[in-house]
């Protein structure tokens, strides 16, 4: 989608972090943005930030964990802007706990927010995109879905791995119909994601994806999203260094695991 000016983007989780970064970057290109979030104050702040730079945005309360939320989001966006060209399924949340401590209900909650929200979005927005013969979907996954670097957040990693698979299937299905699909895979990005983290069982050391990845800022990630939509890129990691790492894993999976067991990348000690 080369011409972004005048387009309309719906972004979930745009009250903070990566979603806000993408909202601001797209608005700077002339895209009108529907800021969807459960955090009303944060969403209003994103709208104000965009308006202060001459852009156009509106906020809506949207809980992506609810079955009818994405249909309502589509209806509200069409009522406000009369079109939808870009949908960024970005809102999500993390969890911490060892596998023997995380109850089934918590698995269900994490899968509901991080994975079924994408399913709901597809049900709501795909018929519209297919009928109009254009559109772009951005699904925010994670390095955690590309390879498992930590064992204390498996529901999150499983949800994000599934988001990557769904995104790839959507690209196969939708590209021939003129609809772009991007799978944004963030590594470490400075956001508010740890604020809402639930914890189960004893504290654990925080393991990071790898020492080679630096901390990115949401604005940088927002620019990656703009470029991905403009050039119809599928896989967009926030750090290109993840590609050789994935080659290492594919080449020697056992060796890759052993390396992580022998030399874990501890970002923060427990307690």
Ligand X SMILES: NC(=O)c1ccc[n+]([C@@H]2O[C@H](COP(=O)([O-])OP(=O)(O)OC[C@H]3O[C@@H](n4cnc5c(N)ncnc54)[C@H](O)[C@@H]3O)[C@@H](O)[C@H]2O)c1
Catalytic: which of 147, 149, 156, 173? Answer: 156
Q: Is 245 in the site for ligand X (CB under 6 A)?
A: no
First to last CA, the chain: 47
Q: Segment 84-123, which members bind ligand X (CB under 6 A)?
A: 90-93, 113
Q: Which is nearer to ligand X, 178 or 208 (CB)?
A: 208
Say how many residues touch ligand X, by CB under 6 A: 28
Minimum distance from CB of 194 to ligand X (Å)?
A: 8
Catalytic-residue membership of 149: no
Sequence-distant (6+) residues with CB within 8 A of 252 are: none
Q: Which is nearer to ligand X, 66 or 232 (CB)?
A: 66
**What is the closest distance, in whole angstroms, from the C-beta atom of residue 196 to ligand X in the complex?**
6
What is the phi/psi pair of residue 230, to 5°?
-65, -40
CB of residue 78 vs ligand X: minimum separation in angstroms? Answer: 19
x/- map, 125-164, ligand X, by CB under 6 A: ---------------x-x----------------------
Asked if residue 17 binds ligand X (CB under 6 A), the reply is yes
Contacting ligand X (CB under 6 A), which of 22, 110, 189, 224?
A: 189
By CB neighbour count within 10 A (0-12 exposed, 13-18 middle, 19+ buried), where does 179 fall?
buried
Binding ligand X by CB under 6 A: which of 4, 11, 33, 64? Answer: 64
Shortest spacing between CB 42 and ligand X, in angstroms: 5
Residues 200-239 as x/- pattern, contact with ligand X by CB under 6 A: ----------------------------------------
Stretch that binds ligand X, among 24-32, 125-133, 183-191, 223-231 (CB under 6 A): 183-191
Task: Give the chain as a 3 state SS string.
Answer: CCCCCCCEEEEECCCCHHHHHHHHHHHHCCCEEEEEECCHHHHHHHHHHHHHCCCCEEEEECCCCCCCHHHHHHHHHHHHHCCCCEEEECCCCCEEECCCCCCHHHHHHHHHHHHHHHHHHHHHHHHHHHHHCCEEEEEECCHHHHCCCCCCCHHHHHHHHHHHHHHHHHHHHHHHHCEEEEEEECCCECCCHHHHCEEECCCCCEECCCCCCCCECHHHHHHHHHHHHHHCCCEEECCCCHHHHHHHHHHCHHHHHHHHHHCCCEEECCC
| 24 part of the interface to ligand X, by CB under 6 A | no
Identify which range of 60-68, 70-78, 229-237, 258-266 contacts ligand X by CB under 6 A: 60-68
Active site residues: 156
Query: Residues in the site for ligand X, rule: CB under 6 A?
Result: 12-13, 15-19, 37-39, 42, 62-65, 90-93, 113, 140, 142, 186, 188-189, 191-193
């Amino acid at each position: 989608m080369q011409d972004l000016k005048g387009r309309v983007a719906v972004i979930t989780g745009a009250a903070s972090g990566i979603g806000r970064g993408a909202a601001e970057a797209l608005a700077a290109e002339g895209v009108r943005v529907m800021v969807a979030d459960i955090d009303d104050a944060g969403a209003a702040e994103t709208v104000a930030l965009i308006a202060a730079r001459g852009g156009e945005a509106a906020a809506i309360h949207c809980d992506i964990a609810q079955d009818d939320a994405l249909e309502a989001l589509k209806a509200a966006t069409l009522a406000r802007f009369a079109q939808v060209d870009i949908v960024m399924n970005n809102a999500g949340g993390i969890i911490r706990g060892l596998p023997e401590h995380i109850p089934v209900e918590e698995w269900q909650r994490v899968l509901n927010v991080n994975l079924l929200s994408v399913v709901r979005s597809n049900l709501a927005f795909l018929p519209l995109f297919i009928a109009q013969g254009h559109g772009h979907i951005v699904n925010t996954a994670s390095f955690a879905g590309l390879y498992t670097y930590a064992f204390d957040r498996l529901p999150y990693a499983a949800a994000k791995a599934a988001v990557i698979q769904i995104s790839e299937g959507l690209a196969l299905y939708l590209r021939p119909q003129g609809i772009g699909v991007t799978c944004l895979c963030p590594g470490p990005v400075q956001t508010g994601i740890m604020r809402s983290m639930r914890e189960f069982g004893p504290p654990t050391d925080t393991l990071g994806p790898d020492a080679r990845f630096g901390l990115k800022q949401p604005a940088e990630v927002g620019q990656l999203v703009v470029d991905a939509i403009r050039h119809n890129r599928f896989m967009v990691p926030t750090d290109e260094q993840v590609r050789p790492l994935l080659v290492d894993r594919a080449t020697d999976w056992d060796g890759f695991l052993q390396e992580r067991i022998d030399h874990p990348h501890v970002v923060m000690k427990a307690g």
